[in-house]
Amino acid sequence: MPEETPQNGLSESAASGLAYITIIPAIIFLVVAPYNQSAKIRFHCWQSISLGIVAFALGVIGIIPILGWLIFFVGMLGLFIVWIICVIKAFGGERFVIPLIGPFAAKQAGI
């Protein structure tokens, strides 16, 4: 009778979804050994980091009165919707490629 081995760590889907929660898990998953071996997890980490950079850029634009506030509000609303889609797809084991950000993330992940 073969011996059952317990699963260590998170599944690929769980790690991929957690990468979107904040930028910190994404960076950790890019550094820690079993997770940085998976191209799928690396893709979600890089896409999450890129979303964080876009959010930061929108925050800088939001400093500008009136037009900057409008761009900030609309951009953050759109970014929030895309983020929710990414989290749901990642936890479901799928990949949602965001235009412009997705190809960059795929290149960085080696896909």
Tell me the pLDDT tens digit for each residue of 38-53.
Answer: 999 999 999 999 999 9
97-102 contact pairs (CB < 8 A, 24+): 98/47, 98/50, 98/51, 101/47, 101/50, 101/51, 101/54, 102/47
CA angle 31, 19, 97 (to 5 degrees): 110
pTM of the model: 0.86
Provide the pLDDT for residue 1. Answer: 47
What average pLDDT does the chain have? 90
DSSP per-residue string spanning 9-46: S--HHHHHHHTTT-HHHHHHHHHSHHHHT-HHHHHHHH
Nearest alpha-carbon partner for 9 in 39, 31, 32, 42: 32
The domain spans of the chain are: 12-109
Counting residues of the chain whose pLDDT is more than 90, the rounded percentage is 77
Q: How confident is the model at residue 34 (pLDDT cuts 50, 70, 90)?
A: confident
